[in-house]
Copies of this chain bind each other. A is one copy, B any other.
Amino acid sequence: MAITVGELAERLGLEYRGDPGTAVDHAASLVDADPGSLTFLANPRYRQHLAATRAGLVVLDERYAAECPTNALLSPTPHLSFARALEMVMPRHRPDDGVHGTAVVEEGVRIGSRVHVGPHCHIAAGCVLEDDVEIGPGCVLMSGAVIRQRARLVARVTIGHRTEIGEDSLIQPGAVVGAEGFGFAHHEGQWIKVPQVGRVVVGARVEIGANTTIDCGAIGDTVIADGVKIDNLVQIGHNCHVGENTIIIACSGVAGSTEIGRHCAIGGMTGVAGHIRISDGVQVTGMTQLTKNLTEPGVYSSGTGVEPNRRWRRNAARFHQLDEMAKRLRALEVRLAELKGPDDSGD
Contact = CB atoms under 8 A, between A and B. Distances in A.
A253 B227 contact: no
Contact of A333 (B90, B306, B316, B328): B328
Contacts of A190: 205, 227, 245
Given A80-B187, A211-B213, A219-B29, A137 B156 contact: no
A336 B332 contact: yes
Given A233-B213, A302-B306, A185 B271 contact: no
Interface in A182-231: 182, 184-185, 187, 189-195, 197, 205, 207, 209-211, 213, 215, 219-220, 227, 229, 231
Interface of A: 26-29, 32, 39, 42, 77, 79-80, 82-83, 86-87, 90, 92-93, 100, 102, 104, 118-120, 122, 136-138, 140, 142-143, 154-156, 158, 170, 172-174, 176, 179-180, 182, 184-185, 187, 189-195, 197, 205, 207, 209-211, 213, 215, 219-220, 227, 229, 231-233, 235, 237, 245, 247, 249-251, 253, 255, 263, 268-269, 271, 273, 284-292, 294, 298-323, 325-326, 328-329, 332-333, 335-336, 339-340, 347
